[in-house]
Structure 1
């Protein structure tokens, strides 16, 4: 049986699109080919458990939106599509595109220590990522508070994956929210 860390979540099925079995996916990946290139993908239900394989037939990005519309083999009508809403779209964890120097996968940020100075103590640890208009880092502080920090270069100017930390330069008041 595969462990949960054997899988990489690339999106969540959020709605049905039309009557012919198409589905809207909110991506958790910066690689559009995850939603447009046909081939095997896996679905995991909201309750968790073992993912099941499904074949992606085709996909496209909705113009002006971050959502993708996908079509899976065997899902040919709205009723069949509705049973998949809420499921997580997965690929094997080792199916990670190669990156250029200085780039990194967003999920690699989870577990990094957050610092306010390069040589200062950690104020917390990146505990989650929230995708939206701008990605947000959820940082859990040593006292258990959860901070939401916009993942933009002005606020997170340095990421040191190998050293295990990232630098925050938050505007006044952001850490007190």
Structure 2
């Protein structure tokens, strides 16, 4: 399997109820991927080639960003649970036609994000979260630097000979996870999306970058 042949649209995360329904975390912004009956493809954990499967029906769960789908021949909870971790896919040629200012999520992942005013390369898009307005998760190029504390001298106990200075080991902190920010993916904040050059230019309002920074 090659990445340019297939599009991942979601991941089966759990069984739903007792009749074989499946909870799916979506990687696609197009509801028809999960709601319209038809052929889909499954890639089970550890396998390299997707297998065809028929989507019978599906619905969205409000507030949980999950779809519940029914696949053909998955008729009970045991069969549904066995599919946890399985990827749902479609052929790359089966991309919906986009309207103006619409983009495929997979096209946005990996794009560099620049501040339009200064030209600073802020970071790279690592995820897109669907919401009222979609949110770009941007991993910053400028990461915080962790400073390890110095060892502290151990206080000698009464009556002890302290001819040499002893050190008390201090646990080193774990390296911080990469710092990210969330950018609303709207025209006013991200006016330039250049797919050819893999470049997004943003004009964030004052305080936005500091307000939602995850450090």
Shared fold per TM-score greater than 0.5: yes
| 2:159 aligned with 1:161 | no
Count of aligned residue pairs for this structure pair: 175
How far apart, in 1, do the equivalents of 2:190 and 2:47 lie? 32
1:72-93 deviations in Å (ceiling 9; x for gaps): 1111000000011121111111
1:123 CA drift (Å): 3.0
In structure 1, the partner of 2:52 is 53
Residue 15 to residue 95, structure 1, CA distance change in 2 (3 Å): same
Q: Distance in 2 between matches of 1:102 and 1:132?
A: 15
TM-score (norm 1): 0.82
Change (3 A) 1:96 1:118: farther
Shift in CA distance, 36/175, structure 1 to aligned 2, threshold 3 Å: closer
Cα shift readout 1:102-154 (whole Å, capped 9, x = no counterpart) = 2221221123221012671423332x214365544243527794524234326
Distance in 1 between residues matched to 2:142 and 2:46, nearest whole Å: 30
Q: Deviations over 1:53-102 (max 9, x none)?
A: 21111112234543211111111000000011121111111211001122
Q: How does 1:87-98 map to 2 (within 5 A)?
A: 87-98=86-97
Q: What's the TM-score, normalizing by structure 2?
A: 0.69
Partners of 2:100 and 2:130 in 1: CA distance:
25
Partner of 1:39: 38
User: For the pair shown, which has the larger CA radius of gyration, 1 or 2?
Assistant: 2
- Between Structure 1 and Structure 2, the one with more strand by share is 1
Q: Label 1:51 to 1:176 Cα distance change in 2 as closer, same or farther (>3 A).
A: closer
Q: Residues 52, 176 of structure 1: CA spacing in aligned structure 2 closer, same or farther, 3 A cutoff? A: closer
Is 68-77 or 115-124 further displaced after alignment? 115-124
- Residue number in structure 1 paired with 2:85: 86
Q: Distance in 1 between matches of 2:78 and 2:8?
A: 24
- My pick for the range that moved more, 77-86 or 48-57, is 48-57
2:145 is aligned with 1:147: no
Name structure 2 gaps, 5 residues minimum: 145-177
Stretches of structure 1 that go unaligned for 5 or more consecutive residues are none
Change (3 A) 1:87 1:131: farther
- Are the structure 2 counterparts of residues 66 and 172 from structure 1 closer, same or farther at C-alpha, using a change threshold of 3 Å? closer
